[in-house]
Amino acid sequence: MKVVCAIAPLFVVVTACSSSELAPRAGVTLLVTNETCTGGTCQPLEVIAFPNVQTRTPGGPVTIDLGSLTAQQQCFMLPTSLQFRIFDEASGEVDIIDWSDAQGLSLAALAPNTPVAQASPTTRAFVPAAAGGWRISLPSGNAVSFAPACSSGRGPT
């Protein structure tokens, strides 16, 4: 019994270490289906992402604007890495936050002209670099799933 207990925690540690060693992956795509479409007409949505490297900012959460969703489906290319610079006007200090697609990301879909400062994620976090393609239906979907990579703005390649 003691041997089994010693092996089980070791397996958990190995699994946790290998997921954190995921390298950034260029060319990861996200296929988003617009659930507002009825009778060939779709309400536009702004698709934004929330990197899992949040910090307090006066302007709201740190976000990535993926773009507008105006059709029934849209393919978005996810960035491989980004650097966020947060300026403190009072002290003149700059806080630099690095993010890559090997780290977590959550999503939200907003009506056009909705202030991003009032937004929050509506999906569970996922690690984009874990697959070449992902898909989700918005605005009600709460989890992305693996999918073939997509291109040219519409559907899988």
pLDDT value, residue 137: 97
pLDDT value, residue 20: 55
Q: State pLDDT tens for residues 80-90.
A: 999 988 888 88
Q: Please provide the DSSP assignment of 105-116 as one string.
A: EEEEEE-TT--G
Q: State pLDDT tens for residues 97-133.
A: 899 999 999 999 999 999 888 889 999 999 999 999 9
Say whether pLDDT at 55 is over 50.
yes
Residue 104 CB partners (closer than 8 Å, separation 6+): 51, 52, 125, 126, 127
Quote the CA–CA distance of 23 and 72 in Å, as a whole number: 32
Confidence band for 57, pLDDT divided at 50, 70 and 90? confident
pLDDT value, residue 152: 56
Quote the CA–CA distance of 29 and 113 in Å, as a whole number: 25
Say whether pLDDT at 156 is over 60.
no
Q: State pLDDT tens for residues 4-54.
A: 323 333 333 333 333 457 999 999 999 999 999 999 899 999 999 999 987
pLDDT value, residue 88: 81
Quote the CA–CA distance of 64 and 82 in Å, as a whole number: 9
